[in-house]
Structure 1
């Protein structure tokens, strides 16, 4: 891990790991709400039971958070995983009515919490670019 990547990897990794941990302990109401939003944007998830979806999401978030926090995971790999994950979140945001102004990507008050995932997308791309443009130290 390069020193200049440390702040973004620590902040993002800790946040995502914590989010996954909280989902692991989520209740039926949380599972139903998250599953409904994800299924609305990605119909492939409709056939999954809400609690199973929440556990799957939880494991994915904890794995991603751990990868970001683990120094031996190269920035390009950690960044690609973060870009994929946050890209899915941004897609869900854009596909969900009421999250953004009609005909605009700008968030409504209800969408502000999810629209911030664009920052994780940018962090992921930055890690990928850094990882593929600079030779590893050592």
Structure 2
């Protein structure tokens, strides 16, 4: 069983609660919400065009709920949740970089601020992953 690291509490609880809440909100999303989220995502990730908007939103919501809950669960190893959070944040930043109007060079526009802030999630995930892997080798 993984050892709960007190230094990870702030990283895991803030990211976990935020992502869990976002996933729960998406789970209740209507057709309009699904179409908007799906439309934005498939603009950057064209393979998502093969998935209908409502199932896409449900899958995204389930992924966020799972990741958020894992971050909040003490016995899930830091390396595991760090890898999950890093991958999730990287996909969000890919959306930021791949969507026209979100940034001017790398600097966020007003439209891009909501996603550009997810760079913090990437840093949190990388810190959890690195520390989890370091502790595994010790």
Which band: TM-score by shorter chain? over 0.9
Separation (CA, whole Å) in 2 of partners of 1:37 and 1:65: 22
Partner residue, 2:44: 41
Query: 5 Å matches for 1:38-117?
Result: 38-101=41-104, 104-117=105-118
Q: Helix, strand or coil: the match of 1:66?
A: helix
In structure 2, runs of 5+ residues without a counterpart are: none
Q: Helix, strand or coil: the match of 1:57?
A: helix
Q: What are the Cα deviations for residues 59-92 of structure 1, in whole angstroms up to 9, with x where unaligned?
A: 0000000110000001010000000011000001
Q: CA deviation at 1:134?
A: 2.3
Q: What are the Cα deviations for residues 74-122 of structure 1, in whole angstroms up to 9, with x where unaligned?
A: 1010000000011000001100000001xx1110000000111111001
RMSD across aligned positions (CA): 1.3
Partner residue, 1:18: 21
1:9 aligns with 2:7: no
Q: Helix, strand or coil: the match of 2:108?
A: coil
Q: CA deviation at 1:135?
A: 4.8
